[in-house]
Chains A and B, each alone.
Chain A
Amino acid sequence: MILSSIKTGLAQVWKSKRMVLIFFLANLSFALVLMLPFRAAVSNFAGETLMGTKLAGHLPIDFIFELMKNNKSLFSIYGTLFMLVPASYWLLSLFLSGGAFATFARGDGYSSPAFWAGAATYFGRFNRLFLWSLPVFAVLLCLQFLETGFQRLIFGSDPYEYVKYWGGWVKYGLRVISFVLCAMVYDYARIHVVTTGETRMRVSLWHGIRTVFGNLGRTFALAFGLFLCGALVLAIYNPIADSLAAPNAFVVLTLFVLQQAYMLFRMLLRLTLYSSQLFLSNKLAGAPAPLEISTDPQGLEGAAA
């Protein structure tokens, strides 16, 4: 069921390639905002020096510290940017996700009006849904403290370091899992909103929780599988990127292409996840897939109301 969900999901994404591009460009443009002050500072500091030449090869550690020392304003700029940009990006992603879910629910590929209409229709509800979900997220994030409790219980207050070390990894793993679970609950709740036109967000949230935990094996395997897929490709990317250290234009360009290819892949994964989860959700509900529910005027009217 999972593989067929992914297969159907991929097929759906393939029909909506332009959507991948929209998500990718959103990510790229926000990242550009986060990059430009850095670039300006580096360019100003080292743009006309031999250190600037060296930067094309391996990044010298001296340079990083000198940049920090001599560009203190960067810290305040990024202090602000790191608050604003990720939050705005999150809102934009949420907005776009409405379009994506609506498109997948329709099942006949990307169409610009339907995408943007979906995005606009569900944005408000998704925001309300998020607020409703916060207590659930808080509970899920407490999952990591299971490790703390068990460690205390079994090994006492003064455990050997290897207990703490492996416990630390377990805790990290639990944290990752709880993030994935939060995202899953939120995804299935959104799917419920889109497929049923539900306007009471607590109902959709409850549906999301039931879908996730009622079929935990399948829902988790799907989401975590795709998450691992992204992590694995990143793990492969890293050594390749490190090896691309030769200071010439071709290598620098290759690295750029590789990076952006990876980001495109990430967007593809995200949309595949949305689409597969929608398929799985329908399968679990016993409905045929793909459904054409988002064309149901009730959904759109509900949003307009």
Chain B
Amino acid sequence: MILPKTRWLFLTIMIFAVARPVLAQDIPVLFPEPLSPRIANYNIDVKLDVGKKTLDGQEVLIWHNKSQDAITELQFHLYLNGFRNSESTFMQESGGRSRRNKLDEKGWGHIEVTSMKLTFGGKLTGAPRYLAPPDAPKVLDNAFDLTGDMQFIQPDNDNAEDKSVFSVPLPRPLQPGEFVAVNMDFNAKLPEPPMARTGAKEDYFFVGQWFPKVGVYTENGWNTHQFHANSEFFADYGVYNVRMTVPENYVLGATGVEVEVAENDDGTATHFYHAEDVHDFAWTTSPEFIEVTGKSQDVDIRVLMQPDHADQGERHLAATQFAVQVFQDWYGDYPFPNLTVVDPRRGAGGSGGMEYPTLVTAGTKYGLPAGIQAVEHVIIHEFGHNYWYHLLASNEFEESWMDEGINTYTDIQTNRARKTTGGDLIDFLGVQVDADQLFRTNVMFGAGRDPIMRRAWEYYSGGSYGVNSYAKPGIVLQTLHNLLGDEVMSKIMRTYVERWRFKHPKSQDFFDVVNEVSGQDMDWFIEQAWYTNATLDYSVTRVTTREVKKPKGFDYTLPVSESDSMMTRDEDEQTNIEVAAASAVPTVDEAAEPDSDDEPQETKLYFSEVRIRRLGQFQFPVEIEAVFDDGEVIREHWDGQELWQKYRYTRPAKLVSATVDPEGQVLLDVNFTNNSATVAQQKLGINKVSERWMFWMQLFLEQPDILHLLQMPRELIK
């Protein structure tokens, strides 16, 4: 049932929507059939004061109750309050630092809602209609004034000083299928310099997480979290109409498509942007932006460069074009018509390397050598988010790996696809580094403190959040990829994207796709890789080979059997017994067999043994390769379950080496060096690295000031 007042409002909304054809025509319709459940729809009018770095905004949120519950309150994020003072949860957790950035003395950021009015709408059939900002306040004249009812809440901890989430009780329960229109006035101050993805530096503004943003209502009620140092975001999809007023000489870029730019009398201009089926809206403005445009497949690309990086505009564009092309080819359509790439100003690195719907930020340095592909990597990574963060939009507060981790996995794919010679990330002054090597190193050094599965702010440390949200799931997925093969894995990824577009998948949804598409029960892998901190490390711990001497002693005959003997035991103490038993019954390979009768002369036989240990708790099936000096290569498969495994061979050739995972497919293995063992010392390699090391030591002794060259990068980063 709809209250009389609400019914009036609803009718008015519909009338306005229909009776203002000018407006309806002005706003382009991107997707006649909505791509997403358009739950949270925003009309925002915002004015930027470039001197004070403040925002003055009016927001109308049209929010639909698409749940089965009667909802009694609304919850909103006020992310900018994370920068309010030293006591906010963000500041407490971050120690005032985010990446390398620190706020200026007076750089605090904050946001206040100065007025909140609410009106109920009725049940809608079909796609909802929206109001443009100038009209919305009129409609809401008779609304409930909830300004005094807002209350800060702290869903994640008991930090009463944190003001990044508030709740407001509804005058009456909002029934399933109904919607509300919430009219808010707000003032905000942007942090200086940009911090944790948003803020201002001189005349450069990157405006992210900037407006009162409704939480997500799930089957478990409101899913709203405070702004944490180690967390990204979660939001519902909707339609955004945003009018941003900035000085008229400023260039502006934003989520969505530009509808119009209107010049005002006071030297400002109002830029009107419209976006559909997005779950956030960010914008940037600066008088200094230099625009570089291009196209990739069906996507228009606009790169906004800083003047001191103007010479890298084409580099940015080429990386973006590549990203759009491979992602569309591999993971399906990017349905939006355009993409904006923002190059942050010097001193505003805190706004770099971030993703927003249809808008991403990169980050480079003047003089960045072509051999250091950092900026290409960032751009491709951030565009990748437009799939995992934007099209699929998992809950980054609670399952950060589903965005950053999958994106790290796709980073590995895109880097490999771009690789020509040398390292695919760094190929500079003889140093060659591939992206997966870098990620694997992260895992090696720092993954052990948590499993991947944790809520973002509950990891042991910022470092542990980082490695378990990015590198570890990336390497886990690449290991899975290598195990299942290219074809199966690409089918998994494609199925996952197609099935879960605009639906906020959870971890189990991804795992279900893995099991279904691979046709295997991969839970044994998923359980270990995602839910434990188990280390994977298989090692060839011993290789021996010796000539089989004629047996000594009483009544002894040499039996010949064709199979290799294999044993496994849980207890190391039993090893000796097993070895003793085995040497009493040596075995020969098939290759040696035919000789035994026909050839009168004796063939020398060698008894060789390979011992492999599982040094970590992670159990994983592995291939083993034993190489003999007659060129023979024997492959074994071990399920990797027990603590160790031995392979014994009696063959007419000496064992040369044994390798576990000879192709280096198991990237999760934290030690590749111990994956092989050779019977002979490998002096040549040791000599080579030693002589190179010694030469640098000689040089260093002779000219210690050579170390000052190492200061150059620091000079540049400052």
Contact = CB atoms under 8 A, between A and B. Distances in A.
B657 interface: yes
A242 interface: yes
Contact of B432 (A47, A54, A61, A164): A61
Contacts, number: 191
A53 B656 CA distance: 12
B694 A32 contact: yes
A161 B685 CA distance: 42
A214 interface: no
B701 A46 contact: no
A28 B709 CA distance: 23
A55 B685 contact: yes
A31 B673 contact: no
Interface stretch (A102-110, A248-256, A278-286): A248-256
Contacts of A175: 705, 708
B711 A161 contact: no
A242 B695 CA distance: 13
B685 A46 contact: yes
B705 A54 contact: no
A52 B687 CA distance: 10
B693 interface: yes
Contacts of A262: 695
B712 interface: yes
B689 interface: yes
Contacts of A62: 437, 440-441, 672
Given A55-B685, A63-B673, A50 B308 contact: no
Given A39-B690, A42-B686, A164 B718 contact: yes
B346 interface: yes
Interface residue range, chain A:
35 or more
Interface in A1-44: 27-28, 30-32, 34-35, 38-39, 42-43
Given A31-B701, A65-B444, A168-B715, A176 B690 contact: no
Interface in A251-305: 252, 255-256, 259, 262-263, 266, 270
A189 B606 CA distance: 72
Nearest to B718: A164
Given A158-B202, A249-B684, A242 B701 contact: no
A49 interface: yes
Contacts of A67: 673
Nearest to A49: B676
Contacts of A176: 705, 708
B28 interface: no
A227 to B, nearest CB: 9
Interface residue range, chain B:
35 or more
A248 B684 contact: yes
B715 A247 contact: no
A255 B705 CA distance: 24
A297 B676 CA distance: 67
Contacts of B423: 61
B677 A30 contact: no
B686 A39 contact: yes
B673 A172 contact: no
A234 B700 CA distance: 13
Interface in B675-718: 675-695, 697-705, 708-709, 711-712, 715-716, 718
Interface string B433-474: 110010011001100000000000000000000000000000
B309 A161 contact: yes
A164 B715 contact: yes
A194 to B, nearest CB: 22
B335 to A, nearest CB: 36
A165 B686 contact: no
A150 to B, nearest CB: 15
Given A50-B659, A55-B689, A165-B367, A263 B308 contact: no
B678 A50 contact: yes
A252 B688 contact: yes
A76 interface: no
Contact of B366 (A31, A69, A165): A165
A58 interface: yes
A161 B363 CA distance: 13
Nearest to B201: A158
Which secondary structure characterizes the binding site on chain A? Answer: helix
A116 interface: no
A69 B685 CA distance: 20
A48 B543 CA distance: 10
B715 A172 contact: yes
Contact of B711 (A54, A172, A270): A172
A63 B441 CA distance: 10
Given A31-B694, A34-B694, A56-B688, A161 B308 contact: yes
Contact of A66 (B431, B671, B688, B699): B671
Interface string B607-637: 0000000000000000000000000000000
B682 A46 contact: yes
B367 A27 contact: no
B686 A160 contact: no
Contacts of A80: none
A75 interface: no
Contact of B678 (A48, A63, A85, A259): A48
A158 B701 CA distance: 38
A31 B685 contact: no
B430 interface: yes
A238 B678 CA distance: 32
Interface in B641-691: 657, 659, 670-691
A130 interface: no
Given A61-B433, A86-B704, A255 B688 contact: yes
Given A65-B444, A242-B430, A52 B346 contact: no
B677 A48 contact: yes
B698 A31 contact: yes
Nearest to B625: A50
B34 interface: no
Contact of B690 (A42, A69, A89): A42
A49 B680 CA distance: 9
A238 B675 CA distance: 32
A69 B691 contact: no
A28 B698 contact: yes
Contact of B686 (A32, A46, A162, A179): A46
B670 to A, nearest CB: 8
B337 interface: no
Contacts of A30: 701
Contacts of B687: 56, 252, 256
A164 B697 contact: no
Nearest to B690: A39
A59 interface: yes
A46 B687 CA distance: 12
Interface string B318-350: 000000000000000000000000000011000
B51 to A, nearest CB: 16
B365 interface: yes
Nearest to B659: A50
A45 interface: yes
Contacts of A168: 712, 715-716
Interface of A: 27-28, 30-32, 34-35, 38-39, 42-43, 45-59, 61-63, 65-67, 69-70, 85-86, 89, 158, 160-162, 164-165, 168-169, 171-172, 175-176, 179, 230, 234, 238, 241-242, 247-249, 252, 255-256, 259, 262-263, 266, 270
Given A38-B693, A62-B437, A161-B367, 6 more contacts: A28-B698, A48-B680, A161-B366, A165-B716, A175-B705, A259-B692
17 contacts: A34-B694, A35-B694, A48-B678, A49-B682, A50-B678, A52-B681, A53-B684, A62-B437, A67-B673, A69-B445, A86-B704, A162-B366, A164-B346, A165-B366, A171-B715, A255-B688, A259-B694
Interface of B: 202, 306-309, 346-347, 365-367, 423, 430-434, 437, 440-441, 444-445, 540, 657, 659, 670-695, 697-705, 708-709, 711-712, 715-716, 718
Q: Which 10 A-B residue pairs are closest in the complex by CB-CB distance?
A: A55-B685, A52-B682, A168-B715, A161-B366, A50-B676, A35-B694, A34-B697, A56-B685, A39-B690, A31-B698
